[in-house]
A and B are shown apart, each in its own frame.
Chain A
Amino acid sequence: MLRILRLAIAALTLLGLAGPASAAKEREVSIGLQAAITSMDPHYHNLSPNNSMMLHVFEPLIKRDANQKLVPGLAASWKAVDDLTWEFKLRKNVRFHDGSPLTADDVVFTLKRVPNVPNSPSSFATFTKPIVDVKVVDPHTLIFKTATPHVLLPSDLASVMIVSKLHGEKAATEDYNSGKAAIGTGPYKLAEYVPNQRVVLKANYGYWGGEEPWDKITFKILTNPAARVAALLSGDVQMIETVPTADIARLGKDPKYNVVDKVSNRVIYVHLNQSTDKAPPFVTDKSGKPLEKNPFRDARVRKALSVGVNRDVIVDRVMEKKAVAAAQLLPDFFYGTSKKLKPAKYDLEGAKKLLAEAGYPNGFALTIHGPNNRYINDDKVAQAVAQFYSRIGIDAKVETMPSSVYFTRASKLEFGYMILGWGTESGEQGSSLRSLLATFNRERGMGVTNRGRYSNPAFDKVLETALVTMDDKKREALIQQAAEMAMNDTALIPLHYEVSTWATTKGFDYTARTDQYTLAMGLKPRK
Chain B
Amino acid sequence: MAGLVLLVAILVVGVLAPVISPQNPYDLAQLDVMDSKLAPGEKSPDGRTYWLGTDDQGRDMLSGIFYGLRISLGVGIASTVFALAIGLVFGLVAAYFGGWVDTLVMRIVDIQLSFPAILIALVLLAVLGQGVDKIVVALVTVQWAYYARTVRSSALVERQKEYIEAARVLALGQARVVFRHLLPNCLPPLIVVATVQVAHAIALEATLSFLGLGLPITEPSLGLLISNGFQYMLSGKYWISFYPGLALLLTIMAINLVADQLRDILNPRLRK
Contact = CB atoms under 8 A, between A and B. Distances in A.
Contacts of B216: 397-399
Interface residues of A, number: 29
A250 interface: yes
Contact of A317 (B34, B217, B232): B34
A80 B230 CA distance: 55
A226 B233 contact: yes
Contacts of B57: 380, 383-384, 387
A155 B21 CA distance: 57
A230 B28 contact: no
B33 A387 contact: yes
Interface stretch (A113-121, A241-249, A416-424): A241-249
A448 B59 CA distance: 39
Interface string A296-326: 0000000000000000011001100000000
Interface of B: 27-29, 31-34, 36-37, 56-58, 130, 212, 216-218, 230-237
Contacts of A398: 216-218
A390 B56 contact: no
- Tell me the interface secondary structure of chain A in the complex: helix
Contact of B130 (A244, A386, A396, A399): A399
9 contacts: A230-B234, A246-B231, A249-B235, A317-B58, A387-B33, A390-B28, A391-B29, A398-B218, A400-B217
Count chain A CB atoms within 10 A of each CB in B36, B130, B218, B233 and give the residue with the most: B218
A14 B234 CA distance: 25
Given A226-B230, A384-B57, A397-B216, A250 B28 contact: no
A207 B216 CA distance: 52
A387 B28 contact: yes
Contacts of B31: 387
A240 to B, nearest CB: 12
Given A226-B233, A247-B235, A372-B217, 4 more contacts: A249-B235, A314-B33, A318-B33, A384-B33
Contacts of A400: 217
B63 to A, nearest CB: 15
Contacts of A230: 234
Contact of B218 (A250, A372, A386): A386
Contacts of A226: 230-231, 233-234
Nearest to A386: B28
A389 B33 CA distance: 13
Contacts of A383: 28, 57, 217-218
A130 interface: no
A391 B27 CA distance: 11
Contacts of A249: 235
A49 interface: no
A230 B212 CA distance: 22
Count chain A CB atoms within 10 A of each CB in B28, B36, B58, B231 and give the residue with the most: B28
A237 to B, nearest CB: 15
A318 B36 contact: yes
Contacts of B36: 317-318
Nearest to A224: B231
Contact of A246 (B32, B33, B237): B237
A225 interface: yes
A250 B57 CA distance: 21
Nearest to B126: A405
A391 B37 CA distance: 21
A384 B218 CA distance: 10
